[in-house]
Amino acid sequence: MHQTTSGAADLSAPGDLSSNAASFARYLRAANVAPATLKTYAEAVRTVGRFLAERGMPTDVAVITREHVEAFITDQLERWRPATAANRYRGLQRFFAWLVEEGEIRISPMARMKPPHVPDEPPPILRDEELRRLLATCERGTSFEDRRDAALIRVFIDTGARRAEVAGLRYVPADETSNDVDLDRGILRVLGKGRRERVVAIGAKTVRSLDRYVRMRQRSTHAEVPWLWVGRKGRLTTAESRRSSESEGGRRGSATGSTLICCVTRSHTAGSRAAAARAISCGSPVGGAARCSIAMARARRASVPWLPIGG
């Protein structure tokens, strides 16, 4: 009896698409693909399977043609944003390439296809003065959340690291192999795409903010949690950040005239603008006691696309 595995496409339509989707998910896990990537690829296969079945199109992988895939991508463009359709395209492209490698099909139906065009969407940019006010709001407070969120903002600004990289930082001072925070040398060790480790530098002000936070963290009920960022229930999650922002965002936003959901750029050497960015959703009015919810979007070229928390 076939058992559905985590990350596999749950398809009930006839044909061998379902069994191949499950095998594809196992292959991705064995290849140590990031969980988010596995989920995206599995969703692409699950969605195309549902699309084909609902329209009476073939769900045997050897019979699926370019026309079927093109019809699916067109449908996705009509239903969703171009970026979503492009993600589905990449997931299917990887799936059919794997089928070729496994000998399930001879040629991928997407062999000569081109991905859908994703137009650039100029993002809102946080002005320097707004950024200074935002930092001042968090750094003025002395609560645990104030200290944590001020440190979070400064880490994003200094490093340009991805949200997942910052969220995955570990703080285990007694174990050098597990500890990602070295305040004396002013460096952080992050785990990036492809599970590749890299070291990023932080400035003196960020070191000070982190030092203030970890001193207060040591007195918290979650001091033994190995993750650097902790909240009321343990490791800080994007879901918890979203709830905090949603519950207080209206009141805080009205005090500033608008809720501060914005992007930040910083200059790199040689006068170029960074492709390093932080998307910051501030849950507190500027000038009031702050509890900021943070999310980060990877920069694209010289612009910084906005990414909501949990997105």
Q: Looking at the structure, give the CATH architecture of the domain made up of residues 17-102.
A: Orthogonal Bundle (1.10)
CA 272 to chain centre: 25
What is the pLDDT, as a whole number, of residue 238? 52
Averaged pLDDT, 145-152: 91
Residue pLDDT, tens place only, 188-233: 999 887 778 999 999 999 999 999 999 999 999 999 999 999 988 8
pLDDT of 14: 58
Measured between its terminal Cα atoms, the distance across the chain in Å is 36
The pLDDT score that the predictor gives to residue 170 is 95
Please answer whether residues 199 and 158 qualify as being in contact, where contact means their C-beta atoms are separated by less than 8 angstroms: no
Q: How far is CA 270 from CA 97, 201, 267, 273, 274, in A?
A: 41, 18, 9, 9, 11
Q: How many CB atoms lie within 10 A of CB 67?
A: 10
What CATH fold (topology level) applies to the domain 128-294?
hpI Integrase; Chain A (1.10.443)
Every domain of the chain with CATH number 1.10.443.10 lies at 128-294
Q: Give the rounded percent of residues in the chain with a pLDDT score beyond 70.
A: 70
303: β partners: 300
Question: What are the residue ranges of CATH 1.10.150 in the chain?
Answer: 17-102
